[in-house]
Structure 1
């Protein structure tokens, strides 16, 4: 019987209820089940954890959302937290810094650079192909840049091109960096030579035109501010390479030497010899290396402490920029560069 009574008291551990004695029983009180604790109020229950980005997964058979381990946690009240979530009692380590913001900027710049490199407007598919982005990403970036005025979209073709806000930004940048203060001097040179005059600076492996004064001649060569040209096929580019320090270091910084015309220099040994010649005589020549039928002569603008700040070039049809004019043009260019150098040197470059 004792064994039977003890057997009757065995319970399944999974469904066991704690026992307590009933007060007032002299023999110790009968053993009765203790009441279960009342359920916690809804407001006091653990707040479900979810993600700002919407990246969640659900526990099988349950309605609660579980966060993906690769995304930061937030509490149910939409406030991102680091460390302790007050409502949930769950401690989360600080989330690592991400590059999402920097990546968005890099992608937007890539779209702008892609449209800078083409004369024709591009559709979303073409932008995606040339940048390597998905079509949805290209569309999202193009729309954001259009809203900011950095791109404009043709209502009929739905194709994109650089927008008017860039004109304002470029003009203000040129003015604040002091380049526009050199414009009167460049105009004097254009009047004296009857040819187009440009001032350019180096950006990466390209020379960017900052200022341009067109020739009064009906037959002329113009390159608008913002035009970017590979250094090795530009007279200004050669000046910036030759005046930028060790020539071998400058050559190592260049990528593949692309060919623009059959006169383009694509051999590094030949380009090195050309840069040595630029250093020796003080000016560079672009002999139809970028555009057939167009020649240019350029000189560097040096900072008083050394190093080329910029370059100034005279461009025109090859039938007018003849070999017999080069010495005089070089003299006029050097005089202009000496006038412009202190103006540019006094302006901020950072």
Structure 2
């Protein structure tokens, strides 16, 4: 989007959101630390913190600030926009327990994939839950699964807005290569992240589609490349992932 066509924004709101982003990355933080991280004056940062605290978005613990538990309520409200969320979490929990790996669910928002739920099995690597984190769609299995069921014009718009940045040497970085990859995903019904976002990690993902052919999101199982072999994906993981997706889609239609 040309700069002249970009929507106007409010600088004070931008600054407040910067404060919240920094608080999200830390357990607690003082005014001076936060001012330095944001390259803002202590007075400006303190004013933002005081305003956010007044409205219940942050908590002041003896001069150390943290996010408030109000975000739990906001998160629950956001989940209500995800159809069959309970079915999704049940199926992902079962996938993680059965295969010992990470099982994840993401939706598309603003042209990126946002992680909504993650279940970790007994052998899962990096089990931290990056819920709410946004990723470029083209560089993860979940994202490619979602792109495969979006209209071509929407895919073009997403690429035009966000580009195709390289995460590893395996990442698809051209529109032509992405089109070929999405054709493969449509043909076989699933996407594979072959160390395209993180070296050493492979992922297999399938889109969730409602009866109106609208993508709800995507579900995946991921793990170390040494364990996520083609044979294991085909014989063990894909049958269970297909069943999980089918259960969620049926629940969505019945709901």
Are positions 1:288 and 2:195 aligned together?
yes
Q: Residues 58-87 of structure 1, C-alpha deviation per residue, up to 9 Å, x if partnerless?
A: xxxxxxxxxxxxxxxxxxxxxxxxxxxxxx
Q: Which ranges in structure 1 are unaligned for 5 or more consecutive residues?
A: 1-99
Paired with 2:142 and 2:220, the residues of 1 have a C-alpha distance of 6
Structure 1 SS opposite 2:113: strand
| Count of residue pairs the alignment pairs up | 240
Match of 2:72 among 126, 147, 167: 167
Q: Residues 238-280 of structure 1, C-alpha deviation per residue, up to 9 Å, x if partnerless?
A: 111111122x531332322222222222222211211111111
Residue 341 of structure 1: aligned partner: 249
Q: Residues 68-125 of structure 1, C-alpha deviation per residue, up to 9 Å, x if partnerless?
A: xxxxxxxxxxxxxxxxxxxxxxxxxxxxxxxx9x848953774377448x84577234
CA contact (8 A) 2:105 2:116 kept: yes
Paired with 1:124 and 1:227, the residues of 2 have a C-alpha distance of 24
Q: Kindly state the Cα deviation for residue 306 of structure 1 after the two structures are TM-superposed.
A: 0.5
Which structure is higher in RCO with an 8 Å CA cutoff and minimum separation 6? Answer: 2
Residue 4 of structure 2: aligned partner: none
Are positions 1:313 and 2:186 aligned together?
no
Paired with 2:216 and 2:157, the residues of 1 have a C-alpha distance of 20
CA contact (8 A) 1:175 1:181 kept: no
Paired with 1:141 and 1:288, the residues of 2 have a C-alpha distance of 41
Determine which structure has more spread, i.e. the larger CA radius of gyration.
1
Instruction: Kindly report the root-mean-square deviation, in angstroms, between the aligned alpha carbons of the 2 structures.
Output: 3.3
Match of 1:230 among 127, 136, 155: 136
Match of 2:34 among 123, 127, 148: 123
Residue 118 of structure 2: aligned partner: 212
Residue 189 of structure 1: aligned partner: 95
Q: How does 1:56-95 map to 2 (within 5 A)?
A: none
Tell me: CA distance 1:151–1:267, structure 2 relative to 1, closer, same or farther (3 Å): farther
Structure 2 SS opposite 1:237: helix
